[in-house]
Structure 1
């Protein structure tokens, strides 16, 4: 595990994008292609903005993403499909983009595509409750399914409201489809970009506890190639 503490979210995004860009270029040079999983949410905005500026042959990159609310139309401001199409997919010439729909019926085909080859790098955010994707505590560490239907807990719902995606907790969907923890851990490299003071407790808990599904992000420390990017605010509770 490597940890980098940056001045602020902007610098974090630039440093993380440089790191990921280098990985993608190396993969393309080595095998002619690369695969990436992207996170969404307010904490990922600066990283994605910087990543699209990286000198990467995106026509050789396949992109997957982590999660989506159940039965939320793509036109809704909180839709992660909308988020990625507007902020990333429309900005680069990807080889392919494979998105999670809020409908379980498409999961078998998505799983088959995802598991065709290794994912070279996963950008895996960490939530205020230390969730990864929408695997809220207590997360299912055991399922081998690539995606699963999950119930969102209150802390997760409150985070979505604070970030401005919904006007109230009552508006937040109760369920989502999420990439599983076991599938996330299959990424060859994991990069977590976690800025802002609201994430400081989650980062403290992640780094100061043994692996436990009540703090889902703790499992990332078991990955053989895990890089954590923090800013001064999110790192404020750690030494």
Structure 2
């Protein structure tokens, strides 16, 4: 069984398919507490949730008729039955599955799933207060179908992101996105930093859903 706090259809607010329709499956719980977290309500042990089997979740996904599927949280890789769920989901023809993971849990075991989901890994920079929890081995495992996202709230964060991008040759392995912490840094500052440092093959990503709807809205 998996603890689902919400399922809904909206647009992808970020990632490689930003702006496209997607079915979101949000699981309960997270092992981190980032300073800028925008889903704290879903992280606590007493958060309202529904226990569902992998088959029930997959049936609900298929009923929407939407092909993009975003698995998120919290931290979805914490769920005890998540491997079984992802393995079953990967057998469904026509679905494009993305997992949003926080970078603290090793992704290696999940890369062995045939037709595996893509990983969007959110590396936690200094302003998150959670960088010490990152599994650095993950940076060696990312592949072409994956994305690493650096959520930046300061110039210090940008400096750290640039160091990691260069150190691990990330633009040669996967898609690389920089995203501003909403309200902490202006996107213009990130663009100027990218220009100054000639950051080729790095993409600025704005959270579209926070522009369309209230930044604190749920289910969007």
TM-score category (smaller protein): 0.3 to 0.5
In terms of fraction of residues, the more helix-rich structure is 1
In terms of fraction of residues, the more strand-rich structure is 2
TM-score, length-normalised on structure 1?
A: 0.33
By relative contact order (CA 8 Å, sep 6+), the higher-ranking structure is 1
